[in-house]
Structure 1
Amino acid sequence: MNLDQIKKPEVGEEIVIIKTNHGDIKVRLFPKAAPKAVENFKTHAKNGYYDGVTFHRVMKDFMVQGGDPDGSGRGGQSVWGSSFEDEFDPEYHNLRGSLSMANAGPNTNGSQFFIVQKGDVDKGFIAEMKKAGLEGGFSEDVVKAYENLGGTPWLDFKHTVFGQVFEGMDVVDKIANVKTGMGDKPKEDVVMEKVEVIEYK
């Protein structure tokens, strides 16, 4: 598989460490594929916007979602103070471990994001992707990645993919397995204690 999305970061590349009360999640960012989403996330991280914010929506075998300072799932805004547009690239998909923008429909990106946790893809979906092929945005490498890693292909071209976890998926799995109540909200807060942007060494 020759997908850029699942490669390790190079030395000197900027990465993000999401330090949670369950452990650290390390993410490689994709500034070429999603420049605005990356700028938004990095600026929020550097400004401390995400520090102390919870993962307010957790769905096992699907994803974990955070980035809303009021923890309701309805709050948060972009660094520009208004929604910004989606950025889709046929090489970047909602594979297991992808960092993607949460939204309320097309071009409504703010501060919320999710990490895909799902570890498989239904065979019917794989068949559909193979049928759609390159025209549908699913190269052979993308289909293989979905087969090997899992993910949520039905979110492709609906949610901007702007990063990929390269270390700490065990932490994402741990978070996905916490007990939840109404609205998929964890019964005990899952907190991002600090989100740091650093150079990969």
Structure 2
Amino acid sequence: MRKIPLLLLTVLSLVVLSACGKGTVKEQTKEVDGVNVSKDNVVGYPQLSPKVADNEEVVVMNTTLGQIKLKLFPDIAPKAVENFLTHAKEGYYEGVIFHRVMDEFMIQGGDPTGTGAGGESIYGDSFEDEFSDSVFHLRGALSMANGGPNTNGSQFFIVQKTEVDEAALNQEKPLVYSDEIREAYENMGGTPHLDHSHTVFGQVIEGMDTVDKIAKAKAKETRPIEDIIIESIEILTEK
């Protein structure tokens, strides 16, 4: 598949940001202001294994285009995982659409207003970012959408990009990629320019074909012409 030049990828990212306002996938900055990147919750690289560890949660997202099975990382992003699971248990996401889809980038949902400007966290206000050097925006990553640092609400996105540009891996960041993660990006694809700009709190372990279907849906600008709906989110007990 043809690689998308880094400049075009950046433009696409900025389109998402400007079109959505609150709750959008935001462009990576070179510095992370006011956020401490955690060094205490390193648990290896859980995204690189399809197995489910004892400390991970598993959910199945049922959509009108198929199922997406994800494992969540409460040890790495406890507030994001609690927020997502509580909303799921209370049916907050049921009937909510994927309001923004971009093939070779990501799919975004979690806003009950369907506008991309709504949604609230379970904490009553926006909550802080939870960054880690254990998780990354690899293809299949589940991450919090935001409108800037520490503005997490209910919206989330799943990375769908199939390839990665070398320039994106080499740009200045608040972290240095290990050989293992660099290889993972090269083999899996992803959006490294979003690392340490959004909170990664899960990973697709089954159903990337569904993610691809959603990303490739016909859209007007970035909104699907026909609604793609989250019918339910089941919380499994695969411990």
**TM-score, length-scaled by structure 2:** 0.78
Give the equivalent residue in structure 1 for 2:125.
Answer: 82
1:148 matched to 2:187: yes
8 A contact 1:25–1:165 mirrored in 2? yes
Number of aligned residues: 195
Aligned residue for 2:185, secondary structure, equals helix
8 A contact 1:11–1:199 mirrored in 2? no
Q: Any idea what the Cα deviations from partners look like across 1:169-195, whole Å, max 9, x if unmatched?
A: 00000111100003x100000000001
Deviation for aligned residue 1:12: 8.7
Q: Find 1:39's aligned residue among 82, 92, 101.
A: 82
Q: Which amino acid in 2 is paired with 1:162?
A: F
Question: 1:141 & 1:13 partners in 2: Cα distance?
Answer: 21
Question: 2:150 & 2:176 partners in 1: Cα distance?
Answer: 19
Question: 1:30 & 1:154 partners in 2: Cα distance?
Answer: 21
8 A contact 1:22–1:190 mirrored in 2? yes
Question: 1:29 & 1:14 partners in 2: Cα distance?
Answer: 5
8 A contact 2:101–2:215 mirrored in 1? yes
8 A contact 2:77–2:199 mirrored in 1? yes
Give the equivalent residue in structure 1 for 2:113.
Answer: 70
1:191 matched to 2:229: yes
Q: Which amino acid in 2 is paired with 1:57?
A: R
Give 1:1-201 correspondences, 5 Å limit.
3-7=45-49, 8-10=51-53, 13-126=56-169, 128=170, 136-182=175-221, 184-200=222-238
Deviation for aligned residue 1:4: 1.8
Q: Which structure is richer in relative contact order (CA contacts within 8 A, separation 6 or more)?
A: 1
Q: Any idea what the Cα deviations from partners look like across 1:77-123, whole Å, max 9, x if unmatched?
A: 00011000000001100000000000000000000000000001012
Higher mean Cα deviation, 101-110 or 136-145? Answer: 136-145
Question: 1:11 & 1:82 partners in 2: Cα distance?
Answer: 30
8 A contact 2:55–2:75 mirrored in 1? no
Structure 1 spans left out of the alignment, 5+ residues: none
Q: Any idea what the Cα deviations from partners look like across 1:152-179, whole Å, max 9, x if unmatched?
A: 0000000000000000000000111100
Aligned residue for 2:219, secondary structure, equals coil
Identity of aligned residues (%): 57
Question: 1:156 & 1:125 partners in 2: Cα distance?
Answer: 10
**Over aligned residue pairs, what C-alpha RMSD do you find?**
1.7
Question: 1:65 & 1:139 partners in 2: Cα distance?
Answer: 28
Higher mean Cα deviation, 30-39 or 138-147? Answer: 138-147
Question: 1:198 & 1:155 partners in 2: Cα distance?
Answer: 29
Deviation for aligned residue 1:14: 2.5
